[in-house]
């Protein structure tokens, strides 16, 4: 079987600095700021090449992406998904100017990103992919911060994390304390920032992406 490409630090940097990513990030930020609802988008990755593409933009409600309205981009059909998987999913929390705190719904979605069923020639294969979830905010300076979270293993205790994070709702806790909780519970986590310069959002701290690199691993044939 053909080898899956490694998701390297350099590849992640290319994605997070690409106009596809930054333009969509800005569009979702504007929608969230204007309407006060969660807005998100998905980046899919080809399993055997460096190719990546923007798949969809989704619009939820004021506190969840559950039951969101999704707009698929381009002329979509099932074949467009062959040989690709969700690498990055970013959504905005409308009321997170000070601290980004993942919800239970967010934590469930992050866990589901550890494995993916990838179709090649319409046959399903199971890979360990370790997708990256981003929870974003528009801060008081109108710049964008994104809390990146990635599972280190398939199973972790959502109830335990939720209980620890729950202490910080309606408080002035800092981002680094939230990140510490996530790291202590078998999750990669860090905060990246985009500053608006000359009407363009520019990634400030690309070195933080290094910890999110991984190599997809073929697990088993799946008949699902």
| Domain harbouring 90, CATH code | 3.40.140
Task: Give Cβ neighbours of residue 87 (< 8 Å, ≥ 6 apart).
Answer: 7, 15, 43, 44, 45, 52, 129, 131, 132
Q: Residue 2 domain-assigned?
A: no
Q: Residue 183 domain-assigned?
A: yes
Q: Residue 1 domain-assigned?
A: no
- Each residue's pLDDT, cut to its tens digit, for the chain (224 residues) gives 678 899 999 999 999 999 999 999 999 888 888 877 888 899 989 988 999 988 777 776 555 555 555 554 444 555 557 788 889 999 998 876 668 888 888 888 776 666 677 776 667 777 888 899 999 998 877 889 999 999 887 665 677 887 788 766 555 568 888 899 999 988 999 999 999 877 678 898 899 999 999 999 887 655 54
Q: Residue 111 domain-assigned?
A: yes
Q: How far is CA 153 from CA 162, 176, 188, in A?
A: 17, 22, 10
Question: Among residues 101, 113, 111, which one has the least CA distance to residue 162?
Answer: 101
Q: Residue 115 domain-assigned?
A: yes
Tell me how far apart the alpha carbons of residues 148 and 160 are, in angstroms, rounded to a whole number.
19
Per-residue confidence (pLDDT) for residue 77, from 0 to 100? 52
Structure-block tokens of residue 1 = 């079987």
Per-residue confidence (pLDDT) for residue 139, from 0 to 100? 83
Q: Residue 99 domain-assigned?
A: yes
Residue 100's CB is within 10 A of a number of other CB atoms, namely 22
DSSP, collapsed to helix, strand or coil, labels residue 179 as helix
Structure-block tokens of residue 168 = 């910080």
Range of the domain at 59: 9-219
Please name the helix (run of DSSP H) or strand (run of DSSP E) that holds residue 115, with its range, or none: strand 115-120
Please name the helix (run of DSSP H) or strand (run of DSSP E) that holds residue 15, with its range, or none: helix 9-17
Strand partners, 63: none
Q: Residue 224 domain-assigned?
A: no
What single-letter DSSP state applies at residue 169? T
Number of structural domains in the chain: 1
Per-residue confidence (pLDDT) for residue 121, from 0 to 100? 66
Per-residue confidence (pLDDT) for residue 74, from 0 to 100? 47
Per-residue confidence (pLDDT) for residue 212, from 0 to 100? 96
Question: Would you say 138 and 33 are in contact if contact means Cβ atoms under 8 Å apart?
Answer: yes
Q: CA quadruple 76, 31, 132, 157: dihedral positive or negative? A: negative
């Amino acid at each position: 079987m053909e080898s899956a490409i490694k998701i390297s630090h350099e590849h992640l940097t290319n994605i997070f600095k690409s106009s596809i990513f930054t333009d969509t990030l800005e569009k979702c930020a504007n929608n969230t700021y204007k309407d006060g609802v969660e807005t998100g988008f998905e980046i899919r990755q080809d399993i055997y090449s460096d190719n990546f593409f923007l798949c969809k933009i989704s619009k939820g409600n004021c506190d969840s992406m559950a039951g969101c309205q999704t707009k698929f981009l381009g002329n979509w059909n099932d074949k467009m998904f062959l040989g690709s998987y969700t690498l990055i999913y970013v959504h905005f929390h409308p009321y997170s100017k000070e601290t980004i705190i993942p919800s239970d719904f967010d934590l469930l979605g992050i866990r589901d990103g550890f494995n993916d069923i990838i179709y090649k020639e319409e046959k399903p294969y199971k890979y360990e992919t370790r997708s990256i979830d981003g929870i974003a905010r528009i801060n008081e300076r109108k710049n964008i911060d994104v809390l990146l979270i990635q599972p280190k293993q398939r199973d972790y205790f959502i109830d335990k994390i939720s209980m620890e994070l729950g202490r910080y709702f309606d408080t002035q806790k800092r981002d680094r304390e939230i990140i510490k909780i996530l790291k202590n519970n078998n999750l990669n986590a860090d905060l990246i920032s985009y500053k608006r310069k000359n009407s363009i959002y520019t990634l400030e701290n690309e070195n933080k992406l290094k910890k999110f690199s991984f190599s997809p691993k073929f697990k088993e044939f799946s008949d699902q």
